[in-house]
Structure 1
Amino acid sequence: MGDFSRPDGARHPHHPRSYEITAPGEAGEVRAVRELGRRLAAAAGDDLFGCSCGDDDGTRHATPESNRLLDPLSPDGIPARHRARWAAAAPLGLREYAAALAAGAEDPAPPRGVPLSVAFGWLGAVRPQPRDAAWLLAERAPLRLLAGAATVELAWAVRESDRAGLEGAVRFFAGEEFTTRHPKRRRVPDTARDLLLRHARSHRPGDLAVLERRLLRAPEDRIRRS
């Protein structure tokens, strides 16, 4: 699906420029409003013979029905459903935070007391619809929780992570939120470094070279568990 423009210019802060609708029921709804728009346009006298617009997202011949269905700010629309589904699948301690983002909060207060390993797992979790209207939130929300954490705490969280957590950890440590840190803040103890490199070597080889360059060594005894 393409981007959606409202006459008033309002936008959902976490709606992506493009996304996919793969559920058969939702795809059928889009086809129905698209066809309705074309019928109404033809009834109004528009020449739709050989129409080349494609109208893939149902908005070229917009109707109140298509706007309700596809507007990211519509509470009954498909984008809102996708965001609600993503928020409901968030880890227990993060659901309120996820729901606030899904509702349109730009930067809600992060939850307290949630281990960073949970945020790693949230980032690395496999989503059934990875390119739906919530895909930008699925990337952005965990990264916001991780970006401000000290490297020593992130390294400890790597040691506490399961496979999904290691997947998210590799994505984080290979991304700009970590690689742009000052070199002194990229010193990762050997145990965490080895876990990250091993997972990348087996599951994310495209990130391996970045990790090897950016994960600087640090003495293991720098970590102290409070």
Structure 2
Amino acid sequence: MLPRSLALLCFGLVAARPMRSTVARMRTALPSRTAVSAAKDSLPKKAAAGLAMAGMGALAMAGGAHADVSGLTKCSENPAFKKRETKEVKALEKQLKKTPEGTPGYLELSNRIDRTKKRFDAYGKTSLLCGPDGLPHLIVGPEFRGHEGEFAIPALAFLYINGWIGWAGRKYIRGNRNEEAKPTQTEIVLDMGRMSKAMLGGAAWPIEAWKEAKNGDLTAKASDVTVSAK
């Protein structure tokens, strides 16, 4: 076996031969000074053209993001959406053929067919996007403009209705403090008259909550809140 230093020297000599031939080929393949100067002059033009093409590609991608969002397409143009409509209507019509005419079941199935067609027609006329399953999908991301109302309107309605219910219960419980000797009794057995007034008055809960927050009555003071010893 050769010593380690001798083996490394032999390996270096063998590896140097292809490197020398490569350097020689590089020297013969080098362009002339005229070609280099011409290439330098064309660099700004090529850079400008590249930036223009990149900008056009970015605009095309941005425009395509609205038309195709993660495989979603407009429901009126979605094949799965139309297939689902056909499938549901045919299933109801199949049941309708087996039901005697003039019976309550026949009338109910006829109404269901009409409602199904109207539901799919209403979804098709909106800006909702459907997926491969043929069902509408909500677009919540802020970058997909044009679909804000699909999420914002139901969300605001949900918050308003929940606030209405909570504010009505709060008004009813707070009204029991001074009107009843035993406030908890009217919590067990509801006074429907007072509860109805609280429900009607709770419709303006955003305004009343803002007024109480301004006056400092919305939340309890820190001194009135008991804290257990740690």
**Shorter-chain TM-score tier:** under 0.3
User: Does 1 or 2 have the higher relative contact order (CA < 8 Å, sep 6+)?
Assistant: 1
Scaled by the length of structure 2, the TM-score of the pair is: 0.22
Structure with greater Cα Rg:
2
TM-score, normalized by length of structure 1?
0.22
Q: Which has the higher helix share?
A: 2
